[in-house]
Structure 1
């Protein structure tokens, strides 16, 4: 079996289109999406339409939950931008996303961790930097999830962890956003996704970083007044000053 995994698109339609083109060439059996689909100053409505049309198994991210459940006046800046540009149909699509999901009986999907879309499964918070969790911390955060493959996103950090001899955890990184102040900075603007392949009962992984027109994405963010997003999109590094 071959599985393509995307996460944390954040409304970056140009990155998603480029990733999907490459995924189609790889011809996986299934494409899954780990959430945080639309939030950001880019193409939220267009991205929602793209995802709804393709119908990939998708779980809800923390920003998806905020967009679906929080009154518009209480949303933070990037969620408020997305909310203003979403149609009723796209809001309904977001609202219907499940928090977690199992596919193929032994593959578990979540955004953050099995218990929360805001807990980093593979990272621990060390102030303004995130470090790999210890082996015991990962197992504790997994709870009673025993699937042989666990897929998570949220940290925007590509990573594979072998939790036990029989259980692997994959974070594919972010399709759309490579730098958030205080969270992650991949150091390049390439879009990220992953392929997972099972042969003879064992999983192997490819963490991929691909080219796309990040200059267009940066210009769009800048035009919307989100200069720190424009910097991160064009460099893969967080802006020195945390602005909008």
Structure 2
């Protein structure tokens, strides 16, 4: 995420501050210089959140403090800046696994998060994103002989999430530790 490479200020999320403190200046510059979108193969575009914005959800909306799938009309509007030749849109940001075939549009694939299965965002409207398990997630797209996608794999892998949770506690992040252990944010109160 490019936000971790931006100049530090008091509006940065704690996770971005944590990451930024561990990056060298060269790494921060390289990360910040990354393009908003990247065509990784003909018709396959990758981006963090939306093709036009690093911080706004593509396939999600907020309902009762939770991320849920957005209506198709909203997703279509959010894809307007995408090249019409795009047939696969690879994204993240929400940390929630999604596979959506937009009629007369691309397939959107978000495999989920590799190391942050839940988070809380206090930006109005405040909300949480929760995967529901501590597994690290990634995805594989297989193209057929005609160059069209014929397989999308969303993979969840168990790992030593307890060790990661202990690191989060040592860094003063008990809520992150809870998310790493469970895939859920702690209940309020």
Do the structures match in fold with TM over 0.5? yes
Other-structure match for 1:119: 56
Q: Which of 70, 85, 92 is equivalent to 2:22?
A: 85
Other-structure match for 1:137: 74
Q: How many aligned positions are there?
A: 179
Alignment of 1:38-187 (within 5 A): 64-65=2-3, 67-72=4-9, 74-145=11-82, 146=84, 147-165=86-104, 167-181=106-120, 182-187=127-132
Other-structure match for 1:229: 176
- Report the TM-score when normalising by structure 1: 0.68
- Partner Cα separation in structure 2 for residue 186 and residue 71 of structure 1: 28
Unaligned runs of 5+ in 1: 1-35, 37-63
Q: Describe the shift of the 1:69–1:166 C-alpha distance in structure 2 as closer, same or farther (beyond 3 A).
A: closer
Q: Describe the shift of the 1:75–1:123 C-alpha distance in structure 2 as closer, same or farther (beyond 3 A).
A: closer
Higher relative contact order (CA 8 A, sep 6+): 1
C-alpha offsets along residues 11-34 of structure 1, whole Å, 9 cap, x if unaligned?
A: xxxxxxxxxxxxxxxxxxxxxxxx
C-alpha offsets along residues 42-83 of structure 1, whole Å, 9 cap, x if unaligned?
A: xxxxxxxxxxxxxxxxxxxxxx23x32333455343322333
- Report the TM-score when normalising by structure 2: 0.86
Unaligned runs of 5+ in 2: 121-126
Other-structure match for 2:162: 215
